[in-house]
Amino acid sequence: GAVVSQHPSWVICKSGTSVKIECRSLDFQATTMFWYRQFPKQSLMLMATSNEGSKATYEQGVEKDKFLINHASLTLSTLTVTSAHPEDSSFYICSAEIRTYGYTFGSGTRLTVV
């Protein structure tokens, strides 16, 4: 149980284009989803928290106009990287907290901007 499905698993896009990453909770309702970014050989850095039906909250230093987060339903949260640049190339991963269980993670999206 408590599965988060994340798509796509990898994507290559051209500079200046936008990319949307989806995270879907399959067997539970996620009122909150956490979005992380991980550069090679580094830790997972929390970017933002998406809340169903309200605005996302962003961590310090994360551009909210560049990383658009939408959490329109209890089972779907999306992260859109707008006007992507090569420095946005990274591993993006979502997570949801399951009370009394812990946290469950999506499988991650490897984004490469060329």
Partner 1 sequence: GENVEQHPSTLSVQEGDSAVIKCTYSDSASNYFPWYKQELGKRPQLIIDIRSNVGEKKDQRIAVTLNKTAKHFSLHITETQPEDSAVYFCAAPKVPDKLIFGTGTRLQVFP
21 forms beta bridges with 79
Single residue of 13, 45, 62, 68 touching partner 1 by CB under 8 A: 45
| Spatial separation of the C-alpha atoms in residues 11 and 46, rounded to whole Å | 21
Single residue of 23, 84, 93, 111 touching partner 1 by CB under 8 A: 93
| Spatial separation of the C-alpha atoms in residues 33 and 49, rounded to whole Å | 6
- Taking CB under 8 A as the rule, does residue 34 contact partner 1? yes
Query: Between residues 36 and 67, which has the closer beta carbon with respect to partner 1?
Result: 36
| Spatial separation of the C-alpha atoms in residues 9 and 22, rounded to whole Å | 10
Query: Between residues 93 and 113, which has the closer beta carbon with respect to partner 1?
Result: 93
Single residue of 3, 11, 46, 68 touching partner 1 by CB under 8 A: 46
Question: Which two structure tokens, joined as six digits, stand for 77?
Answer: 């949260």
Q: How far is the CB of 22 from partner 1 (least distance, A)?
A: 15
- Cβ proximity of 8 and 92 under 8 Å: no
User: Which one-letter DSSP state was computed for residue 56?
Assistant: E
Which chain residues interact with partner 1 by CB under 8 A? 32, 34, 36, 42-46, 49, 91, 93, 95, 97, 102-103, 105-108, 110
